[in-house]
Amino acid sequence: ESCLLIVVGLLVGGLIKLAGEEVPPVLDSNSFFLCLLPPIILDAGYFLPIRPFMENLGTILMFAVVGTLWNAFFVGGVLYAVCQIQPGSPSVLNSIELLPCLLFGSIISAVDPVAVLAVFEEIHINELLHILVFGESLLNDAVTVVLYHLFEEYTGAGTVTLLDCFLGVVSFLVVSLGGVLVGAIYGFLTAFTSRFTSHTRVIEPLFVFVYSYMAYLSAEMFHLSGIMALISCGAVMRPYVEANISHKSHTTIKYFLKMWSSVSETLIFIFLGVATVDGPHSWNWTFVTVTIILCLVSRVIGVVGLTYVINKFRIVKLTTKDQFIVAYGGLRGAIAFSLGFLLEKELFPMREMFLTAIITEIFFTVFVQGMTIKPLVELLAVKKKQEAKRTINEEIHTQFLDHLLTGIEDICGHYGHHHWKDKLNRFNKKYVKKCLIAGERSREPQLISFYHKME
Interval 39-60: pLDDT, tens: 888 888 888 888 888 888 888 8
d(CA 253, CA 249): 6
User: Mean pLDDT over residues 211-228, rounded?
Assistant: 90
Instruction: Name the least confident of 172-181, 225-234, 261-270.
Output: 261-270
> What letters, b where the CB count within 10 A reaches 16 and e where it falls short, cover 360-386?
bbbbbbbeebbeebeeebeeeebeeee
Q: Which residue has the higher pLDDT, 54 or 385?
A: 54
CA atoms within 13 A on the CB side of 417: 9
- Apex CA 75: angle with CA 369 and CA 291, to 5°? 50
> What letters, b where the CB count within 10 A reaches 16 and e where it falls short, cover 427-443?
eeeeebbeebbeeebbe
d(CA 165, CA 307): 28
Q: Which residue has the higher pLDDT, 161 or 317?
A: 317
Q: Decide: 238 and 191 in contact? Cβ < 8 Å.
A: no
User: Mean pLDDT over residues 22-38, rounded?
Assistant: 71
- Quote the strand ranges of 39-131, DSSP E: none
pLDDT at 367: 83
pLDDT at 441: 59
What does pLDDT average to over the chain?
81
d(CA 381, CA 376): 8
pLDDT at 164: 73
Whether residue 183 has pLDDT greater than 90: yes
Helix axes 351-363, 285-310, angle to 10 degrees: 60
d(CA 193, CA 94): 58
d(CA 187, CA 182): 9
Instruction: Name the least confident of 196-210, 297-311, 407-421.
Output: 407-421
Whether residue 281 has pLDDT greater than 80: no
Residue 337's pLDDT band, with cuts at 50, 70 and 90, is: confident
Q: Where are the domains of the chain?
A: 2-380, 392-454
pLDDT tens-digit readout, 116-154 = 666 776 777 778 888 888 888 888 877 888 888 888 877
User: Mean pLDDT over residues 399-421, rounded?
Assistant: 76
Q: Which residue has the higher pLDDT, 230 or 329?
A: 230
- Apex CA 152: angle with CA 149 and CA 156, to 5°? 140
d(CA 399, CA 390): 13
Whether residue 279 has pLDDT greater than 70: no
Whether residue 435 has pLDDT greater than 90: no
Burial of 325 (0-12, 13-18, 19+ CB in 10 A): buried
List all residues 6 or more positions away from 25 whose beta carbon is below 8 Å from its beta carbon: none
Helix axes 2-18, 247-278, angle to 10 degrees: 50
User: Mean pLDDT over residues 306-329, rounded?
Assistant: 86
pLDDT at 429: 80
Question: 34, 58, 42: which is closest to 342 by C-alpha?
Answer: 34
List, in sequence order, every residue forming a beta bridge with 125; answer none if it has no partner. 384
pLDDT at 211: 93
Residue 306's pLDDT band, with cuts at 50, 70 and 90, is: very high
Assigned CATH for 2-380: 1.20.1530.20
d(CA 23, CA 411): 69
Residue 315's pLDDT band, with cuts at 50, 70 and 90, is: confident
